[in-house]
Amino acid sequence: MTPLFLLLLVASIAALAVACGGDDPAPAPEPTATEAPEPTATPTTEPTPVATEAPEPTATPTPEPTPAATEAPEPTPTPTPEPTPEPAPLTDDDLTRAFVAGAIEYYQQNGRDATVEFYRSEAGLVDGRALTIVDTADHILLVHHALPALQGQYVGPDSAFPGFAELIGIATEEGSWATARGVNPDTKQEEPRRILAVLHDGLVFAASHSALVQDVAESVKEYVSRAVAKYDADGLDATITHYNSRDSLEGQFYLFLIGEDDIYLAHPIFPHLIGTDIKDVVGSDGQELGKEIAQATGEGVWVEYLWPHPDSRKEQQKVTWAIRHDGLIFASGYYAGEPETGPPAWRGADPREYTIQYVHAAIERYERDGLQSMLNYYNSVASFEGEWYLFATDANDIYHVHPLIPALIGTDIKDVVGSDGYELGKALAEATEEGVWVEYLWPHPVTLKEVPKVGYAVRRDGMLFASGYYVRIEDPVGHTRAYVQQAIDYYESNGLDATIALYSSEESLDGQWGLTLADENDILLVAHIAPQFIGTDLKALPSSGDRSLGQELASATEDGIWVSNIFPNVRSSETLYSHTWAIRHDGLLFMSRYYDDQPDIPEAP
């Protein structure tokens, strides 16, 4: 019998007792006899005593047995609710769609003019996403944050900007996706971009994000496979040309191509390696990584080593896939971990102070790790920091470090003489442990025209450690505009023919500054750096990815515009950016540019 049943039974009996009253039951009365009278003489039958009949005692009724209670079911535990799963993180597609939807909502609430004004401003940028708005009725580009000079211009059919016409063509009310090359707003590198175009109220609202896939190992192999396919389809020359250009870069991916003799044929990040033997490449830690890559077969090999990241230029662990095909080595890789954030240390630094710091860091490495470690590191591309690299000699003044011009290794620095006859090598060799500064002329890595360079050299243990920098113009933006204005003034005073003659000569060059001039039809009249393009339509010059720099420059008005782009610098280790000031005057297009390591378009004063 369960405890529960016993409890119920006891409770039932108690309840019944309460129902029958609170006192004990009355006892049955005793029978009372009536006293008989005295007998008389006449005998009588003895009377039978009359007894009062006692009532039958009332028996307390026995209660009917309470039916056995149905056993209560075991209590069912209340189930613990399953925890609500965390919502899946938003994808890049989700974020881009939300950004465009937010822009459309802003338009609905505030109207066209306010929307155009807001999304042209910095406030309209969200997590690196910028909005593009095109009016489909008249094909006017209303908002294009990446290139403000194009805002307000016609971009429809037969315009110089066919990409926007394609954008109009794909846009739908639900939104359509497309992939095209574009510039990453954070890294400033060209890469595949995934674009969403939504048609609303006669306007196209569009934004994009990086289309790079996350499975990097497979992506690297796919990238290399596409390079092999291009070689099979287009031949060696076309492959070399493409993969030596920035158009071939996809984020951190770039191809380096090695010939049958193990000589570099293509390297878009460190072009000074072209023509050198990959087997001679040694990592800063002494790893003979070049020899390992040169062992690639048709099945392919993975090689891990330290190598500078193309954005930060700081060493990171790199994992490279290399495969032999038709005797050539096709190779690319990815970097383990995240690149260092923030600008490089040399950007914005005082060049004189940074030169001293750079040279003394080399001496510290020598004293800490020994001579061989120092030679390995400073003869590798890992040692480049912007325009700074080490050149060094032994105690006999024989070069044993020169990563930019390795052919100098083994020669005497005292034999180096400038084009003006200045014995700059001897001047540097006079360095003591206190150091020496030497100013001399040296070819600019872009124009190859000699410009002032300042070198710093110091002795330690008899060896010479040295580096240097190009003399900077304090205000390159102002200097560029002033140079162009001087050309316009000369044109006003002397006419077109005289202007063409002067600015086609060496006399007109001012360090890295030279003039490019086009007529009212955008036909090039002066192109000092690339004279082979004289007579060519500026708008027809080769494009860089999806950007047509010639078309951008040709869009200049009398107010002038700045156009910046990565410059394929084949004579230096650093990534250079070209900043061109273009302005119309009298229908002619006057242009000049300067080069530095700053990626952004300068603000016009």
Tell me whether residue 571 is in a domain. yes
Same domain, 402 and 432: yes
Same domain, 486 and 546: yes
pLDDT in tens, 185-222: 665 555 667 899 999 999 999 999 876 555 678 888 98
Domain for residue 429, yes or no?
A: yes
Question: How far is residue 112 CA from its own chain's centroid?
Answer: 32
* 373 and 447 belong to one structural domain: yes
Angle at 392 between CA 390 and CA 393, to 5 degrees: 170
Checking 212-219 for CB contacts under 8 A at 24+ apart, the result is: 212/250, 212/251, 216/334, 217/319, 217/321, 217/334, 219/253, 219/334
Residue 251 backbone phi and psi in degrees, to 5:
65, -125
Give yes or no: residues 501 and 463 share one domain: no
List the domain range (segments joined by +) for residue 119: 92-210
Could you give the angle at the alpha carbon of 203 between the alpha carbons of 198 and 208, nearest 5°? 40
Which pLDDT belongs to residue 9?
34
The reported pLDDT for the residue numbered 133 is 96
Domain boundary among 210, 242, 272: 210
Q: Say whether both 320 and 304 belong to one domain.
A: yes
pLDDT for the residue numbered 215: 60
Residue 9: inside a domain, yes or no? no
Residues 235 and 166 reside in one and the same domain: no
Residue 258's Cβ-side half-sphere holds a number of Cα atoms within 13 Å equal to 26
The pLDDT assigned to 192 comes to 63
In contact, 307 and 315? CB cutoff 8 Å? yes
DSSP string computed for 21-35 = -SSPPPPPPPPPBPP
Distance CA 345, CA 13 (A): 94
- Interval 138-184: pLDDT, tens: 999 999 877 777 788 888 877 767 678 878 888 999 999 886 666 66
Longest dimension (CA), the chain: 192
Taking alpha carbons only, the member of 454, 510, 463 closest to residue 487 is: 510
108: in domain:
yes
Which token pair is 129? Answer: 């996403």
What are the pLDDT digits (tens) for 406-445? Answer: 889 999 999 999 878 899 999 999 999 999 999 998 876 6
Same-domain status, 500 and 590 = yes
Residue-wise pLDDT tens digits, 73-117: 566 656 666 666 666 678 888 999 999 999 999 999 999 999 999
Strand (E) or helix (H) holding 257: strand 256-258
Domain contains 85: no
Q: What sign results for the dihedral spanned by CA atoms 347, 353, 357, 358? A: positive
Please determine, for residue 491, whether its predicted confidence score (pLDDT) is greater than 70.
yes
Q: Is residue 223 part of a domain?
A: yes
What type of residue is 537? D
Of 557, 601, 588, whose CA–CA distance to 487 is shortest? 588
The per-residue pLDDT for 516 is: 95
Is pLDDT above 50 for 29?
Answer: no
Whether residues 323 and 220 fall in one domain:
yes
Q: Which of 79-88, 139-148, 490-499, 590-599 has the least mean pLDDT?
A: 79-88
Q: How far apart are CA 367 and CA 373, in angstroms?
A: 10
Question: Looking at the structure, do residues 487 and 463 belong to the same domain, yes or no?
Answer: no
Same domain, 324 and 226: yes
Residue/partner pairs of 80-87 with CB below 8 Å, 24 or more apart: none
Which of 452, 470, 488 is a domain's end point? 470
296, 279 contact by CB (below 8 A): no
CB 503 within 8 A of CB 517: yes
Q: Which H helix or E strand runs over 499?
A: helix 496-503
Of 314, 460, 285, the residue nearest 372 (C-alpha)? 285
Average pLDDT for 320-345? 82
Please determine, for residue 322, whether its predicted confidence score (pLDDT) is greater than 80.
yes
Residues 219, 267: Cα–Cα separation, whole Å: 19
* Locus of tokens 């926007």: 164
Cα distance between residue 469 and residue 454, in whole Å: 6
> Domain boundary residue among 433, 453, 470?
470
End-to-end Cα spacing for the chain? 99
% pLDDT > 70, the chain: 75
Q: What is the pTM of this model?
A: 0.49
The span from the CA of 351 to the CA of 573, in Å, is 17
Whether residues 97 and 204 fall in one domain: yes
Can you say whether the dihedral through the CA atoms of 124, 341, 386, 248 is positive or negative? negative
Helix axes 216-234, 236-243, angle to 10 degrees: 140
User: What is the band of 330 on the pLDDT scale with cuts at 50, 70, 90?
Assistant: very high
Count of residues in the chain: 605
C-alpha closest to that of 101 among 192, 224, 200: 200
Residue 383 DSSP symbol: G
Which pair of tokens denotes residue 522?
């955008």
256, part of any domain: yes
Tokens of 82: 């399953």
Return the CATH number at 224: 3.30.450.20
Q: Is the pLDDT of residue 243 over 60?
A: yes
Which stretch of 57-71, 230-244, 369-383, 438-452 has the lowest confidence by average pLDDT?
57-71
Q: Is the same domain home to 273 and 325?
A: yes
Q: Is the pLDDT of residue 1 over 50?
A: no
**Does a structural domain hold residue 368?**
yes
Q: Could you give the number of structural domains in the chain? A: 4
